[in-house]
Chains A and B, each alone.
Chain A
C-alpha cells in the first residue's frame, strides 16, 4: 500500500522594528509588538486557524486514518502564547488525536545547524522540551529549519538520538534515485532519511491557485491519481510545505481547504494510506544510503543555503551574530538569552537576499536587502555590546571559557561535595542513633564532617 506522509511547518518570526543606528546603546528592544500581534492574528484568521480545523475534520471523518507530521518553531509558539493562546489549545486538540506527530527543530528556526553546533543542540532540546510541556509528546523525528540537511547535521542529530530526518528531495543529491523510498545516511546508518517530493508539494503550495498553470484547476481525485500512478515499488510520498501555503500563498477563496479535505476519501478509494514519519520508517526499510556533503534546503531552485548565506552581507551578519554565541550561552541573563532566540530566525537573513529568483521576496518593512541588512546590523551592534558588557572586555573567549569552566567545575564540585556531606551526615545520624541505642555520647564522627565543609 502506498503511503502518503504530510508534513506542515508553522513558523513565525518576531517582527523587527525600524532600528536606526542612533538607537544603538539607548534602545534595547528590537521588536515591534504591534506588528507581532496583528501579524499573528492575521495569519491565524487567514490560514492556520481554518487549516487546523480542516485537519481536525479530516482526522475525525476518516476515523484516524488520516495522519501527518507537524513542526512548530519555538518563536511561533511564544508568539501564540502571547497573542493567540486559543490557537495553542487548538494544537493541543490536534495532539490529543494522536494522528499528528510533532517534529523536532531548532527553537529559533535559525541557521545554528550551520554556524553553532553547541547552540544547535541546545536549541533543539529546548524546543522538544517545550513541545513535551505543551502537547505531552516528545518528538522523535527531526526536520531542520527550512529542511536544511547535510551529513554533518545528520551526525549531530543522530548523536542526539533522533532516528528520522525529513529533508528536501533535491535533484542534485538524488540524481536518478526516486524520493519515494526510505533512505539512510551513509555516515550514520541508523539515521533514516525521508525526502520531500517537491513537485507534488509545490503543486499545492506554489501553483494551486495559478490559473495559468496547465493543470489548473487541480482536484483531489486528479492529484491522488498522480500518486496512485507511481510505480508499484515506490511506496512513500513525503509532501511537505509551510502551513501558510493554505490561505496566504494560495487564497482560501481558491477552495484549497476543500481540496485538502477531499484527499483522504480519494486516497481510500485508490487504496492509499497515510502515516506519520515514525510509522513510515517502522514500515519500510531503507533501500540505500546517501551522502550529502553540502547542505540542502527546500528553498529556491538551487535547493541549497544560498537564500540565507548567498551574499557577503548575509555572511557578515551571520558571522557577527554567532561570534557572541558562546558568550550568550555562558551568561545567565534571561533577557539576553530570549533575544538571542529571536534574533536567529532565518527570515531576517532571507530579507537580505539579493538573489534574482524571479519571485519577489516579501521583506516586510524593508524595501531592499540593504535596508534589511542595515537594520539588522544596527540591532546586532547593540546586542553584541550588551552581551559583551556582561563580561570584562579584555578577556578573550578562551580565557573566559576557562574561567567559566572553573566556576562551573567549582559548582559541580560543590554539588558533589554537598551531596557527599549530606550522605555522610545521614550516615552520622544513623550511626548516632545506632550508637545512642548502644552507647550514649560518641565523639569522633562530627569533626570529620566539619573538616569536609571547610574544603
Chain B
C-alpha cells in the first residue's frame, strides 16, 4: 500500500482512515500488508503491518556499514531491508539531492513543492516495487497514484486506488488542472477504484469519466477509541448547552452557515453556547461575521485542537455539527457519536449514507439547522435518544467489515487480472 499519512503523525482524515483500514484488514490471517509512507517517525504501530519509509529507501548506491544504518533507521525499519532495497536501484539518480544513505528526504506533509515530493515518491516506489513480493497494489489518494502506476508497470501486479477525496471536493469546482491530471491518470490506470462514499463514486464516474463497473463504494468506519480518551471527564456547565463545530474553517466545511444558524438560535434561546474549533483561511471572516450578528459573547473560537484536546472539546459538547458543503466522507461525526454526542450533519456528506441516528440537513438550510440545534438543546428525549442510539450505531460500524469488503474486491480484481 502506498499512503501519505499514518498515525500518530497525521494532518487530516486520510491518516486515520489508512490506519483503520489496514488494521481491519490485518484481522484476516492470510493478509500481509506493507505500508509505504514518505516519512516514518518511529512511533507508528507496526504490530499488524510492515512500514517502509520512502525516506529510508536508497535510490543511489552508498557504501555504508550496518551499524550506521541501524542507528539511522533502526527505530522503524530492519536495516537488512535497506540493503535488500539497495540491491534494486534501477537507474542513476545521482543528479537528485540525496543524503548520506542515498535516500531522498521527504517532509511527509503537504509542502509547497508537493509536486516534487509526489514525483520523488514515485521514483522511490520503483525501487520498492522491484524488491518487494506482493499480489496487489493499493494507493491511497492522489498523492500516491503515480507511485501506484509506476509499481504496476514494474511488477505487473494489478493496481487498486482508494479515493478519499477528489479535487472537486477540495476546490468546490475550481479544479487545479495538474491535480486533476494526476487523479485522472491514476484512475485510468487503476484496475479498480474504491471510493469512500457513493457521493465520491458519482464524482469519479461523472467528472473523471470512469466506467461505473470498476468503481465501487467502500465506506469508512470508526476505530474504537482508547481507554484514555473514554476516561476523559467532560466539563459541562449546568443550565447551558454547547454546540461544537470542529474542523478546518474553510469554504468546504460551510462555517458561515453555522454562524448564521447560531444567530437564529440565540435570538430565541440564550442558554446555548457555540464553539468553532479549528483553523483555516475563513477564520477571520467568521469572527467578523459573529461580531456583526452580535453574538460574539456566545460564539467562541478556541483555535486549532490537537490529539486529546479534540476529544475534550467533543465530550464537553451537547451537539456536534458538521455543515460541510461537500464532504467525501467526514470521519469526525463518527468520532463525536463514539463519545456519545448527538450529531447534526449535512446531507452533502458521505457519512450521511451510513448514519441514521443523527440529524441530517441540507448545508444551506440554516432554518432546519437552527431548528435541529434548538430541538436537541431543549428536548431531553431527543438528546438522549441520539446520544445512546448514535453510539450504538457507530460502534457497529467497524473496520473489519470494511476489510472484508476490500478483500472481496481484491479477489475479484485478481480473478479478472489473470
Chain A interfacial positions (CB closer than 8 Å to B): 20-22, 24, 311-313, 315-317, 354, 367-368, 370-371, 373-375, 377-378, 381
7 closest A-B pairs by CB: A316-B381, A374-B375, A312-B381, A21-B374, A313-B381, A20-B371, A370-B359
Given contacts A312-B384, A377-B375, A377-B379, 9 further A-B contacts (CB under 8 A): A20-B367, A21-B371, A21-B375, A313-B385, A354-B389, A370-B359, A373-B375, A377-B382, A378-B371
B268 touches A316 (CB 8 A): no
B370 contacts the other chain (CB 8 A): yes
A354–B359 CA distance with the chains assembled, in angstroms: 13
Chain A residues lying within 8 Å of B384, measured Cβ to Cβ, are: 312
A20–B56 CA distance with the chains assembled, in angstroms: 59
- A127 to chain B minimum Cβ distance, whole angstroms, is 30
Chain A residues lying within 8 Å of B379, measured Cβ to Cβ, are: 313, 316, 373-374, 377
Chain A residues lying within 8 Å of B359, measured Cβ to Cβ, are: 368, 370-371
A20 touches B360 (CB 8 A): no
Given the known interface contacts A370-B372, A373-B375, the answer about A24 and B385 at a Cβ–Cβ threshold of 8 Å is no
Which residues 362-389 in B have Cβ within 8 Å of A in the complex?
367-368, 370-372, 374-375, 378-382, 384-386, 389
Chain A residues lying within 8 Å of B69, measured Cβ to Cβ, are: none
Chain B residues lying within 8 Å of A313, measured Cβ to Cβ, are: 379, 381-382, 385
A311–B269 CA distance with the chains assembled, in angstroms: 26
B267 contacts the other chain (CB 8 A): yes
Report 15 cross-chain contacts, Cβ distance below 8 Å, ordered by A residue: A22-B264, A24-B268, A312-B381, A312-B384, A316-B380, A368-B360, A370-B359, A370-B372, A371-B372, A373-B375, A373-B379, A373-B382, A377-B378, A378-B375, A381-B378
Chain A residues lying within 8 Å of B385, measured Cβ to Cβ, are: 311-313, 354
- In the complex formed, the residue of B with least CB distance to A315 is B381
Chain B interfacial positions (CB closer than 8 Å to A): 264, 267-269, 359-360, 367-368, 370-372, 374-375, 378-382, 384-386, 389
A20 touches B382 (CB 8 A): no
Give the interface centre of A315, A370, A378 by most chain B CB atoms within 10 Å. Answer: A370
A313–B382 CA distance with the chains assembled, in angstroms: 6
Q: Contact check: which of B264, B269, B371, B380 meets A374 at CB < 8 Å?
A: B371
A317–B368 CA distance with the chains assembled, in angstroms: 19
A374–B378 CA distance with the chains assembled, in angstroms: 10
A377–B381 CA distance with the chains assembled, in angstroms: 11
A312–B386 CA distance with the chains assembled, in angstroms: 10
A374–B264 CA distance with the chains assembled, in angstroms: 16
A21 touches B268 (CB 8 A): yes
B268 touches A374 (CB 8 A): no
Q: Contact check: which of A22, A311, A316, A377 meets B370 at CB < 8 Å?
A: A22
A367–B359 CA distance with the chains assembled, in angstroms: 10
- In the complex formed, the residue of B with least CB distance to A24 is B268
Give the interface centre of B269, B359, B367, B386 by most chain A CB atoms within 10 Å. Answer: B359
A373–B382 CA distance with the chains assembled, in angstroms: 8
- A115 to chain B minimum Cβ distance, whole angstroms, is 16
A381–B380 CA distance with the chains assembled, in angstroms: 14
B386 touches A370 (CB 8 A): yes
- B344 to chain A minimum Cβ distance, whole angstroms, is 9
B372 touches A374 (CB 8 A): yes
Chain B residues lying within 8 Å of A354, measured Cβ to Cβ, are: 385, 389
Q: Contact check: which of B269, B370, B380, B386 meets A20 at CB < 8 Å?
A: B370
A316–B384 CA distance with the chains assembled, in angstroms: 11
A315–B381 CA distance with the chains assembled, in angstroms: 8
Chain A residues lying within 8 Å of B360, measured Cβ to Cβ, are: 367-368
- In the complex formed, the residue of B with least CB distance to A316 is B381
- A23 to chain B minimum Cβ distance, whole angstroms, is 10
- A348 to chain B minimum Cβ distance, whole angstroms, is 15
- B261 to chain A minimum Cβ distance, whole angstroms, is 11
A371–B360 CA distance with the chains assembled, in angstroms: 9
Chain A residues lying within 8 Å of B264, measured Cβ to Cβ, are: 22
A22 touches B267 (CB 8 A): yes
Chain B residues lying within 8 Å of A371, measured Cβ to Cβ, are: 359, 368, 372
- A413 to chain B minimum Cβ distance, whole angstroms, is 44
A374–B360 CA distance with the chains assembled, in angstroms: 13
- B331 to chain A minimum Cβ distance, whole angstroms, is 22
- A227 to chain B minimum Cβ distance, whole angstroms, is 42
A311–B356 CA distance with the chains assembled, in angstroms: 15
Chain A residues lying within 8 Å of B267, measured Cβ to Cβ, are: 22
- B372 to chain A minimum Cβ distance, whole angstroms, is 6
Give the interface centre of B267, B371, B384 by most chain A CB atoms within 10 Å. Answer: B371
Chain B residues lying within 8 Å of A317, measured Cβ to Cβ, are: 381
- In the complex formed, the residue of B with least CB distance to A369 is B385
A378–B379 CA distance with the chains assembled, in angstroms: 10
- B394 to chain A minimum Cβ distance, whole angstroms, is 16
A341–B372 CA distance with the chains assembled, in angstroms: 27
- In the complex formed, the residue of A with least CB distance to B367 is A20
Chain A residues lying within 8 Å of B367, measured Cβ to Cβ, are: 20
B381 touches A22 (CB 8 A): no
B370 touches A21 (CB 8 A): yes
- B336 to chain A minimum Cβ distance, whole angstroms, is 16
Chain A residues lying within 8 Å of B368, measured Cβ to Cβ, are: 371
Chain B residues lying within 8 Å of A316, measured Cβ to Cβ, are: 379-382
- B263 to chain A minimum Cβ distance, whole angstroms, is 11
- In the complex formed, the residue of B with least CB distance to A320 is B379
Chain B residues lying within 8 Å of A375, measured Cβ to Cβ, are: 371
- B386 to chain A minimum Cβ distance, whole angstroms, is 7
Chain B residues lying within 8 Å of A373, measured Cβ to Cβ, are: 375, 379, 382
A439–B405 CA distance with the chains assembled, in angstroms: 113
- B295 to chain A minimum Cβ distance, whole angstroms, is 15
